Homo-oligomer: A and B are copies of this chain.
């Protein structure tokens, strides 16, 4: 049995708590957070507290708080015997070096308030100051996910950066696509099968081999027509920059 204490009440705390409580041999003994309303949303099944000075003992303390609160909250855990881990993609493990035993337990996924995520598919990226604690984190990760990886701080920072490109930026391109449709009275749903296939392709093809379109072909005529269609100067800049980047990659530069 691995006992867990979760500090934080946000989306990561909630999804990890659901993941831990769903499996055998792991027990969430306490959720600690300042926000009492958010605490109550965890339900009656779990012990909650808003008192950071009365944190119960546990094998692992999981800090699922905002990046800039990690250092402060870790101060409450300096005298604990358990392993203290944070869950951030971009914060160095050593931010927790004031604690006796420390590491990182980073679930690489985007979590939404009202959506269930199958934790078994979420890559868990762990790092630990001591080897024995690494074994413990690998074991804990394996309880909730099929994909558990040792990832050092530099690699984790790279993953977090890559995630901004494939998640945040991609989502913004969906937004621009939606705006282009809306201007002509078209439903965004028309684009969903294309969006899904773009992702499904990645199972068979590397992104570089899956690319199609005017920039890939070096089709200057279509690119020119598209730029004329775009009235929004910001979207025009995005179109130009990404087309140039694609053109360079394939040697089909159109300028």
Please state if B159 and A181 are interface contacts (CB–CB under 8 Å): yes
Q: Answer yes or no: A230 CB below 8 A from chain B CBs.
A: yes
Interface size on A, residues (CB 8 A): 88
- What is the distance, in angstroms, from A65's C-beta to the closest C-beta of chain B? 14
B residues less than 8 Å from A42 (CB atoms): none
Q: How far is the CA of A24 from the CA of B22 in the complex (A)?
A: 48
Please state if B249 and A175 are interface contacts (CB–CB under 8 Å): yes
Q: A67-B222, A197-B110, A201-B110 are in contact. Are A165 and B185 (CB under 8 A)?
A: no
Main secondary structure of the interface of A (DSSP, over half): helix
Q: How far is the CA of A155 from the CA of B158 in the complex (A)?
A: 40
Q: How far is the CA of A177 from the CA of B171 in the complex (A)?
A: 14
Please state if B213 and A164 are interface contacts (CB–CB under 8 Å): yes
Please state if B207 and A178 are interface contacts (CB–CB under 8 Å): yes
The contact string, 1 if C-beta is below 8 Å from chain B, for chain A 112-154, is 1011010001110100000000000000000000010101001
Q: Which of A52-60, A70-78, A236-244 contacts B (4 or more CB under 8 A)?
A: A236-244
B residues less than 8 Å from A51 (CB atoms): none
Specify which of B163, B171, B212 is in contact with A191 (CB 8 Å cutoff). Answer: B163
Please state if A177 and B199 are interface contacts (CB–CB under 8 Å): no
B residues less than 8 Å from A38 (CB atoms): none
> How many copies of this chain sit in the oligomeric assembly?
2
Specify which of B108, B178, B208, B210 is in contact with A190 (CB 8 Å cutoff). Answer: B108
Please state if A193 and B155 are interface contacts (CB–CB under 8 Å): no
Specify which of B158, B175, B214 is in contact with A207 (CB 8 Å cutoff). Answer: B175
B residues less than 8 Å from A211 (CB atoms): 168, 171-172, 175
Please state if B194 and A163 are interface contacts (CB–CB under 8 Å): yes
Q: A166-B198, A202-B174, A213-B168 are in contact. Are A90 and B191 (CB under 8 A)?
A: no
Please state if B115 and A201 are interface contacts (CB–CB under 8 Å): yes
The contact string, 1 if C-beta is below 8 Å from chain B, for chain A 197-241, is 111011011111011111110000110011001100011011101
4 nearest A-B residue pairs (beta carbon): A168-B213, A175-B207, A162-B177, A174-B207
Q: List 8 A-B contacts (CB under 8 A).
A: A109-B193, A115-B201, A115-B204, A158-B183, A165-B238, A166-B173, A168-B214, A196-B199
| Residues of A participating in the B interface, judged by any CB pair closer than 8 Å | 67-68, 90, 108-110, 112, 114-115, 117, 121-123, 125, 147, 149, 151, 154-155, 157-159, 161-178, 180-181, 183-186, 188, 190-199, 201-202, 204-208, 210-216, 221-222, 225-226, 229-230, 234-235, 237-239, 241-242, 245-246, 248-249
